[in-house]
């Protein structure tokens, strides 16, 4: 595991935090969008297993993680103070697929990994910028990092369940409206329900959709075989080394339910 | 400090082994440890459980974290003995660390077939997993049936001259099974496998996960087993249960274990073996001075 110094751990919404970890540039330079880190919360044995977090952004010698406090692991993480040293393992998993002329669909904390993709896509070398970003949340106050996302000059369309900002309804509704006019690949990250809907829309309009999946995982490096994703062809993929991004049509549909 | 250990005819550079199923089949090990670090810190590598035919493993979810513990229900996902020999074993051998192959069978004949398959291979030894159900005894675990264990170990002993260890379940007639392994001339026993456990995943509708509990949560339980068993038998006991630090390892060694295995620690950090060996050396140096 690598050591890093916490330089930021700030609240972005009621439950979402932005964590900045300063580490050696030689470690950070290999990071790719779509990959994740396993962060050891502290020396305690509970939580025991370091938790996986997608890389949100990278600036100079600091890597940023955007996380939502859900369980005891993220709760412990939210208590970490500036200046503390934490350990992490990574980068783990495969980077996002290299898409051109595509859309991003993010639901809630699912926006986290796309910050780094936007950063990297500005150079238009390995990664290309999306044509549009569709970002949904339950309510306006849960939309985070908007000013950061706006820096990249890519149109952002917002949806909130309660209509407090943007379209009133699910983000998948506005994605579908767009695809009806103009079908193109979608890269999506968010709740399972949203991913399922994106997979259905993909099937309906015959477009490739890529889903960033999530599951509890232990080792993160292919050791334990614990994080399986059932595939349509009958076998299992391991999220930590084969994913976390999968082509929707390859995943056993029931797994998304 | 010389850290080497001799378990019957098996000489290990350190008393630390990587437990079965906690480091895959070595495909990614060298991404996290250099060949030198592997050779100098890991006494032996115990492979994932290998069965005759490939196994896909259980459907998800396969894992659940509990306070200081981890429940797993992987379902022995493995490529089967033929593929293991062809694809995985050559790479494992390249690590130049004794390889112990963990065998998984559903009946005694399966274990015999697996041992026969490995006879010509240059491996250090076998570890028999007796926590699995015996299909010939209506699915009753081998480990709960001393007579079957006696027959199993005797049969394998007949055809396997190298190091032979039996990995005990912590449940059932554990002390009796330990003595039987000694009687059947096993070279060592591993104490112990994971504890049968259950997690409630969803309350309504009730959804549960049944699997084996590992991690620091089980350490005091297995430590007690190691302590009691090592007084009752003369063959070496290899401690395995919740070791994540050098202090944990030292406690096992002080309580009768001749060597130890780390499992969950590998899932926390693939470089745990190095940390544990360093801490153990420091502690031993402290005790000697």
Q: Per residue in A44-88, pLDDT tens?
A: 788 999 999 999 999 999 999 999 999 989 999 999 999 999 999
Residue B194 backbone dihedrals phi, psi, to 5 degrees: -75, 165
- Expressed in percent and rounded to 5, the helix, strand and coil fractions of chain A are 25, 30, 45
**Tokens coding A13:** 């919404």
Closest CA to B187 of B239, B143, B126, B129: B126
Residue A48: count of CB within 10 angstroms of its CB: 24
Confidence check: pLDDT of B16 > 90: yes
Confidence check: pLDDT of B135 > 80: no
Percent of chain B with pLDDT strictly greater than 90: 91
Q: What is the pLDDT of residue A72?
A: 87
DSSP A141: G
Domain boundary, last residue among A37, A60, A92 = A92
User: Is the same domain home to A187 and A145?
Assistant: yes
A230 in a domain, yes or no? no
As a whole number, the mean pLDDT across chain B is: 95
B244 in a domain, yes or no? yes
Instruction: Name the minimum distance, in Å, from the CA of B182 to any CA of chain A.
Output: 31
Q: What is the CATH number of the domain that holds B88?
A: 3.20.20.70
CA–CA gap between residue B129 and residue A171 (Å, rounded): 50
Q: What is the pLDDT of residue B261?
A: 98
The minimal CB distance from A223 to the residues B23, B60, B67 is found for: B23
Q: What is the CATH number of the domain that holds A83?
A: 2.40.30.10
Range of the domain at A172: 103-212
How many Å separate Cα B146 from the centre of its chain?
20
Closest CA to B187 of B84, B262, B273, B259: B259
**Tokens coding A24:** 């050696």
Q: What is the pLDDT of residue A256?
A: 83
**Tokens coding B139:** 């699915």
- Structural element, H or E, at residue A211: strand A209-212
CA distances from B49 to A188, B20, B64, B120, B167 (A): 37, 6, 21, 19, 11
CA–CA gap between residue A196 and residue B55 (Å, rounded): 28
Span A176-200, pLDDT tens digits: 999 999 999 999 999 999 999 999 9
Kindly report each contact of residues B221-227 with a partner whose C-beta sits within 8 Å and lies 24 or more positions away, as own/partner. B221/B170, B221/B195, B222/B170, B222/B191, B222/B192, B223/B251, B223/B252, B223/B255, B225/B170, B225/B174, B225/B191, B225/B192, B226/B191, B226/B252, B226/B255, B226/B256, B226/B257, B227/B255, B227/B256
How many Å separate Cα A244 from the centre of its chain?
9
**CB atoms B60 and A228 under 8 Å:** yes
User: Is the same domain home to A151 and A76?
Assistant: no
**B23 part of contact set with chain A, CB < 8 Å:** yes
CA–CA gap between residue B94 and residue B220 (Å, rounded): 36
Span A199-252, pLDDT tens digits: 999 999 999 999 999 999 999 999 999 999 999 998 999 999 999 999 999 999
**B57 part of contact set with chain A, CB < 8 Å:** yes
Q: Which of A99-108, A134-143, B21-30 has the least mean pLDDT?
A: B21-30
User: Is the same domain home to A129 and A201?
Assistant: yes
Q: List Cβ neighbours of A248 (8 Å cut-off, separation of 6 or more).
A: A195, A198, A199, A202, A203, A208, A209, A210, A211
The minimal CB distance from B63 to the residues A45, A218, A221 is found for: A218
In total, chain B counts a number of residues equal to: 289
User: Is the same domain home to A204 and A128?
Assistant: yes
A41 in a domain, yes or no? yes
B288 is a catalytic site residue: no
**Chain B residue with minimum CA distance to A218:** B267
* Tokens 């969803």 belong to residue: B202
Q: What is the pLDDT of residue B257?
A: 98
Q: What is the pLDDT of residue A220?
A: 96
Percent of chain A with pLDDT strictly greater than 70: 100
**CB atoms B63 and A224 under 8 Å:** yes
Q: What is the pLDDT of residue B1?
A: 63
Q: What is the CATH number of the domain that holds A119?
A: 3.40.50.80
Confidence check: pLDDT of B33 > 90: yes
**CB atoms B27 and A222 under 8 Å:** yes
As a whole number, the mean pLDDT across chain A is: 95
Q: What is the pLDDT of residue A49?
A: 94
Confidence check: pLDDT of B286 > 90: no
Furthest C-alpha separation in chain A: 53
Residue among B23, B24, B266 with most chain A CBs within 10 A, to mutate:
B24
Confidence check: pLDDT of A43 > 90: no
User: Is the same domain home to A22 and A84?
Assistant: yes
B235 in a domain, yes or no? yes
A228 in a domain, yes or no? no
- pLDDT class of B136 with cuts at 50, 70, 90: confident
Q: What is the pLDDT of residue B262?
A: 98
Domain boundary, last residue among A40, A57, A92 = A92
Measured between beta carbons, the chain B residues lying within 8 angstroms of A221 are 28, 31-32, 270
User: Is the same domain home to A81 and A123?
Assistant: no
User: ω into residue A91 within 30 of 0, thus cis?
Assistant: yes
The answer to whether the CB of B168 falls within 8 A of the CB of B191 is: yes
Which residues from A are below 8 Å from B when comparing CB atoms?
1, 40, 45-50, 87, 89, 215-219, 221-230, 235-236, 241, 255
Domain boundary, last residue among A47, A65, A92 = A92
Span B239-250, pLDDT tens digits: 999 999 999 999
Span B250-260, pLDDT tens digits: 999 999 999 99
**B30 part of contact set with chain A, CB < 8 Å:** no
How much is the average pLDDT of A7-25?
Answer: 97
Confidence check: pLDDT of B27 > 90: no
User: Is the same domain home to A147 and A207?
Assistant: yes
B253 in a domain, yes or no? yes
Q: What is the pLDDT of residue B132?
A: 79
**CB atoms B68 and A221 under 8 Å:** no
Number of structural domains found in chain A: 2
**CB atoms A48 and B60 under 8 Å:** no
Q: What is the pLDDT of residue A45?
A: 86
Span B47-90, pLDDT tens digits: 999 999 999 999 999 999 999 999 999 999 999 999 999 999 99
- pLDDT class of B289 with cuts at 50, 70, 90: low
A133 in a domain, yes or no? yes
- pLDDT class of B3 with cuts at 50, 70, 90: confident
**CB atoms A223 and B67 under 8 Å:** no
User: Is the same domain home to A135 and A204?
Assistant: yes
Q: What is the pLDDT of residue B285?
A: 86
How much is the average pLDDT of B206-217?
Answer: 96
Q: List Cβ neighbours of A172 (8 Å cut-off, separation of 6 or more).
A: A105, A136, A194, A197, A198, A201
Q: Is A48 helix (H, G, I), strand (E, B) or coil?
A: coil
B63 in a domain, yes or no? no
B48 in a domain, yes or no? yes
Number of structural domains found in chain B: 1
B67 in a domain, yes or no? no
The minimal CB distance from B215 to the residues A48, A226, A255 is found for: A48
Instruction: Name the minimum distance, in Å, from the CA of B136 to any CA of chain A.
Output: 28
A52 in a domain, yes or no? yes
How many inter-chain contacts (A to B, CB under 8 Å) are there?
93
* Tokens 């350190």 belong to residue: B14
How much is the average pLDDT of A123-129?
Answer: 88
User: Is the same domain home to A30 and A110?
Assistant: no
User: Is the same domain home to A85 and A142?
Assistant: no
Range of the domain at B142: 5-57+76-196+213-288
User: ω into residue A208 within 30 of 0, thus cis?
Assistant: no
- pLDDT class of B284 with cuts at 50, 70, 90: confident
Percent of chain A with pLDDT strictly greater than 90: 92
User: Is the same domain home to A132 and A197?
Assistant: yes
B100 in a domain, yes or no? yes
User: Is the same domain home to A9 and A75?
Assistant: yes
- ipTM of the modeled complex: 0.93
**CB atoms A219 and B64 under 8 Å:** no
User: SS3 sequence, chain B?
Assistant: CCCCEEECCEEECCCEEECCCCCCCCCCHHHHCCHHHHHHHCCEEECCCECCCCECCCCCCCEEEECCEEEECCCCCECCHHHHHHHHHHHHHHCCCCEEEEECCCCHHHHHHHHHHHCCCCCCEEEEECCCEEHHHCCEEHHHCHHHHHHHHHHHHHHCCCEEEEEECCCCCHHHHHHHHHHCCCCEEEECCCEEEEEEEECCCCEEEEEEEECHHHHHHHHHHHHHHHHHCCCCEEEECCCCCHHHHHHHHHCCCCEEEECHHHHHCCCHHHHHHHHHHHHHHHHHC
The answer to whether the CB of A137 falls within 8 A of the CB of A143 is: yes
């Amino acid at each position: 595991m690598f050591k890093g110094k916490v330089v930021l751990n700030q609240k972005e919404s009621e439950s979402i935090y932005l964590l900045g970890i300063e580490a050696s540039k030689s470690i950070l330079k290999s990071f790719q969008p779509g990959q994740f880190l396993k962060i050891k919360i502290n020396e305690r044995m509970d939580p025991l297993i370091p938790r996986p977090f997608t890389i949100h952004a990278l600036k100079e010698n600091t890597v940023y993680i955007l996380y939502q406090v859900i369980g005891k692991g993220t709760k412990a993480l939210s208590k970490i103070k500036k200046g503390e040293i934490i350990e992490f393992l990574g980068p783990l998993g495969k980077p996002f697929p290299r898409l051109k002329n595509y859309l991003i669909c993010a639901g809630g904390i699912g926006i986290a990994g796309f910050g780094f993709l936007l950063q990297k896509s500005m150079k238009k070398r390995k990664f290309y910028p999306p044509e549009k970003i569709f970002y949904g949340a339950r309510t306006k106050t849960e939309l985070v990092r908007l000013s950061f996302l706006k820096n990249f000059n890519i149109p952002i369309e917002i949806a909130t369940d309660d209509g407090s900002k943007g379209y009133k309804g699910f983000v998948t509704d506005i994605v579908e409206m767009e695809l009806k006019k103009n079908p193109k690949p979608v890269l999506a990250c968010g709740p399972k329900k949203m991913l399922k809907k994106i997979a259905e829309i993909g099937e309906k309009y015959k477009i490739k959709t890529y889903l960033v999946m999530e599951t509890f995982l232990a080792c993160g490096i292919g050791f334990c075989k614990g994080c399986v994703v059932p595939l349509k062809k009958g076998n299992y993929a391991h999220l930590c080394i084969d994913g976390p991004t999968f082509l929707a049509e390859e995943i056993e549909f029931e797994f998304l339910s | 400090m010389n850290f080497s250990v001799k378990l019957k005819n098996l000489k290990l550079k350190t008393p630390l082994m990587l437990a079965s199923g906690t480091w895959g089949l070595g495909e990614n090990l060298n991404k996290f440890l250099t060949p030198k670090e592997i050779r100098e810190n890991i006494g032996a590598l115990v492979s994932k459980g290998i069965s005759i035919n490939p196994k896909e493993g259980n459907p998800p979810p396969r894992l659940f974290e509990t306070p200081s513990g981890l429940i797993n229900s992987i379902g022995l996902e493995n490529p089967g003995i033929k593929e293991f020999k062809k694809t995985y074993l050559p790479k494992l051998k390249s690590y130049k660390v004794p390889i112990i192959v963990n065998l998984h069978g559903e009946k005694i004949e399966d274990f015999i077939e697996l041992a026969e398959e490995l006879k010509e291979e240059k491996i250090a030894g076998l570890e028999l997993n007796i926590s699995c159900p015996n299909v010939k005894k209506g699915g009753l675990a081998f480990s709960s049936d001393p007579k079957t264990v006696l027959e199993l170990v005797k049969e394998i002993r007949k055809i396997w001259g190298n190091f032979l260890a039996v990995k005990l379940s912590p449940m059932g007639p554990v002390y009796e099974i330990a003595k039987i392994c000694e009687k059947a001339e096993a070279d060592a026993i591993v104490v112990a496998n994971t504890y049968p456990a259950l997690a409630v995943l969803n309350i309504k509708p009730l959804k549960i996960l049944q699997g084996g509990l590992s991690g620091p949560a089980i350490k005091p339980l297995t430590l007690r087993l190691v302590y009691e068993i090592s007084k009752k038998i003369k063959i070496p006991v290899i401690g395995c249960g919740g070791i994540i630090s050098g202090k944990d390892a030292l406690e096992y060694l002080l309580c009768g274990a001749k060597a130890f295995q780390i499992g969950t620690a590998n899932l926390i950090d693939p470089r745990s073996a190095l940390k544990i060996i360093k801490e153990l050396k420091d502690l031993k140096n402290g005790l000697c001075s």
